[in-house]
Amino acid sequence: EVQLVQSGAEVKKPGESLRISCKGSGYSFTSYWINWVRQMPGKGLEWMGTIDPSDSYIKYNPSFQGHVTMSVDKAISTAYLQWNSLKASDTAIYYCARPTNWYDSTSPPDYWGQGTLVTVSS
């Protein structure tokens, strides 16, 4: 069974750093890209970017480039999303997701993580 399991909720202060994780199982982790999607409180879905676990090649949505960093540790089948200096506006649920097609990083996801709630407040 394909599963993406994300790390737990986080509460941080503005200016702090954070890394959240997404562990894949039940499939060949290096064969499929991992997408990240943001959902701000009460709002819709925003596609942040995608990373190829086989070589760590990343495609960022320009709207998010420079604000977050994606990475992966293929030895433990885990992808990461990182912030160096959080802002209150980073408060959101962050989902990792696996595209339907292994060869197409932007194909719509068929498997999603359960989401990680990040709250940034002083």
Partner 1 sequence: DIQMTQSPSSLSASVGDRVTITCRASQDISNYLAWFQQKPGKAPKSLIYAASSLQSGVPSNFSGSGSGTDFTLTISSLQPEDFATYYCQQYRSFPPTFGPGTKVDIK
Q: Catalog residues that contact partner 1 under the rule CB under 8 A.
A: 37, 44-47, 49, 59, 61-63, 95, 97, 100, 106-110, 112-115
Residue 32: HSE in the Cβ half-sphere, 13 Å Cα cutoff: 27
∠ Cα 30 34 38 (to 5°): 165
Please, are residues 34 and 107 in contact by the beta-carbon 8 Å criterion? no
Q: Give the shortest CB-121-to-partner 1 separation in angstroms.
A: 20
Q: Give the shortest CB-45-to-partner 1 separation in angstroms.
A: 4
Q: Which is nearer to partner 1, 28 or 100 (CB)?
A: 100
Q: Give the shortest CB-94-to-partner 1 separation in angstroms.
A: 11
Please, are residues 85 and 107 in contact by the beta-carbon 8 Å criterion? no
